């Protein structure tokens, strides 16, 4: 069976892309290169001194792992070298990363990313991932990237996807013409097309939510969880609860098998925990291109939301369209107001 590498696929599909002058091809290719470099370190994380804490916190006040910072640096370097990316927003960096050199400033694209999502799982060998979201810049070419380049609605994404560093390493992305998955073949060091034209089932039997937060959930979420646990053979219920605590891993499993992932508002996270720019928007683009839905639980399409800040959080309901619709019925009927955090202090 002939193998199609990521680079061959991107070039074959270049004609699909309105800005087909090879720009996006170079950008996606450089993302693939950085992914292979990060994958090499992730795969030997237990053997070299890049496990554990870096002794610093990121903008979220979350403990940074050495591999977080390593991944951030490698993706930034590769994207800068592509000459197509004029600026980057990263979970690991307070402000946007811009470049002084003329070459990257000529870039027509910006990228928002979570360079290593789920990094609290690194030390226990659980799958983690990189998530990326690509826009055309709105600021003038040749100048530094500006904040307005990054605060565009998700509907303006030109490409988005993720790399999952798991039992195998995969890159899954969309440019608005469907979703395709590539598995890294370590024997040749190439991402090879393994999951062409991914379509997510309209319904599934998996629900993914951190039930440890149950008492902090809005009433509608509590009622939906109980619905998932009730026996009803025709709908596949009781569903199966699957939650890894690594968005890329939970999302990828549900994308392929069908299911719903929810990170709602909770007492403590009154806007939800996940970030709009570099977690929710890219995953929403992928899921919609695969036939699913990504909303805030109240019928608002994630990709329609106008971002107000780089690290803005939103409630996130993503997965099989019939399951999202059912969950939103519960949010409408029973409310999505989270309990007051003072009740738990």
- Interface residues toward ligand P6P, by CB under 6 A: 117-118, 120, 210, 245-247, 273
Of 203 and 210, CB closest to ligand P6P:
210
| Residues 192, 204 contacting (CB under 8 angstroms) | no
Beta carbon of residue 147, minimum distance to ligand P6P (angstroms, whole number): 23
SS3 37: helix
Handedness of CA 272, 277, 283, 287 (dihedral sign): positive
Beta carbon of residue 120, minimum distance to ligand P6P (angstroms, whole number): 5
Beta carbon of residue 334, minimum distance to ligand P6P (angstroms, whole number): 22
Distance of CA 196 to the CA centre of its chain: 19
CA-angle at 74, arms to 51 and 282, nearest 5° = 95
Give the alpha-carbon dihedral of 302, 307, 309, 313, to 10 degrees: -20
Beta carbon of residue 322, minimum distance to ligand P6P (angstroms, whole number): 22
Residue of 25, 300, 250 lying closest to 158 (CA atoms): 25
Handedness of CA 152, 153, 159, 162 (dihedral sign): positive
Of 119 and 157, CB closest to ligand P6P:
119
CA atoms of 63 and 212, how far apart (whole Å): 21
Beta carbon of residue 164, minimum distance to ligand P6P (angstroms, whole number): 11
Of 167 and 187, CB closest to ligand P6P:
167
Of 245 and 335, CB closest to ligand P6P:
245
Residue of 7, 9, 3 lying closest to 179 (CA atoms): 9
Residue of 316, 301, 327 lying closest to 222 (CA atoms): 327
- Scanning 171-217, the segments in alpha helix (DSSP H) are none
For residue 238, say if its preceding peptide bond is cis, omega within 30 degrees of 0.
Answer: yes
Of 28 and 247, CB closest to ligand P6P:
247
Of 118 and 282, CB closest to ligand P6P:
118
Beta carbon of residue 98, minimum distance to ligand P6P (angstroms, whole number): 25
Task: Specify the DSSP class assigned to residue 80.
Answer: H
Of 63 and 144, CB closest to ligand P6P:
63
Residue of 118, 140, 144, 121 lying closest to 129 (CA atoms): 118
Beta carbon of residue 248, minimum distance to ligand P6P (angstroms, whole number): 7
Of 7 and 213, CB closest to ligand P6P:
213
Of 25 and 121, CB closest to ligand P6P:
121
Beta carbon of residue 91, minimum distance to ligand P6P (angstroms, whole number): 8
CA-angle at 198, arms to 192 and 200, nearest 5° = 145
Beta carbon of residue 227, minimum distance to ligand P6P (angstroms, whole number): 21
| Residues 89, 96 contacting (CB under 8 angstroms) | yes
SS3 206: strand
């Amino acid at each position: 069976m002939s193998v199609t590498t990521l680079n061959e696929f991107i070039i074959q599909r270049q004609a699909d892309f309105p800005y087909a002058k090879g720009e996006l091809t170079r950008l996606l290719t450089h993302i693939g290169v950085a992914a292979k470099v990060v994958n090499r370190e992730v795969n030997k994380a237990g053997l070299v001194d890049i496990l554990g804490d870096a002794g610093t916190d990121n903008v979220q006040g979350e403990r940074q792992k050495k591999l977080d910072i390593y991944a951030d640096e490698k993706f930034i370097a590769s994207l800068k070298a592509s000459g197509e990316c004029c600026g980057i927003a990263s979970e690991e960096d307070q402000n946007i990363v811009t470049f002084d050199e003329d070459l990257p400033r000529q870039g027509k694209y910006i990228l928002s990313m979570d360079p290593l999502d789920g990094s609290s799982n690194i030390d226990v060998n659980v799958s983690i991932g990189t998530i990326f979201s690509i826009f055309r810049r709105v600021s003038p070419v040749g100048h530094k990237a500006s904040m307005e380049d990054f605060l565009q609605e998700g509907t303006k994404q030109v490409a988005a996807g993720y790399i999952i560093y798991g039992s195998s390493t995969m890159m899954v992305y969309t440019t608005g013409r469907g979703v395709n998955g590539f598995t890294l073949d370590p024997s040749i060091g190439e991402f090879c097309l393994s999951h062409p034209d991914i379509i997510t089932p309209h319904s599934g039997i998996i629900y993914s939510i951190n039930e440890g937060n149950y008492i902090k959930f809005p009433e509608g979420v509590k009622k939906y969880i109980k619905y998932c646990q009730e026996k009803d053979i025709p709908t596949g219920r009781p569903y199966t609860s699957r939650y890894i605590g690594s968005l890329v891993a939970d999302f990828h499993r549900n994308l392929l098998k069908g299911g719903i992932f929810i990170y709602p508002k909770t007492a403590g996270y009154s806007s939800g925990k996940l970030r709009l720019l570099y977690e929710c928007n890219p995953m929403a683009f992928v899921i919609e291109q695969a036939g699913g839905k990504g909303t805030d639980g109240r019928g608002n399409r994630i990709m329609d939301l106008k971002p107000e800040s780089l690290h803005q959080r939103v409630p996130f309901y993503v997965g099989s369209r019939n399951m999202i619709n059912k969950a939103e019925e519960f949010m409408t009927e029973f409310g999505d107001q989270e309990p007051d955090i003072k009740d738990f202090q």
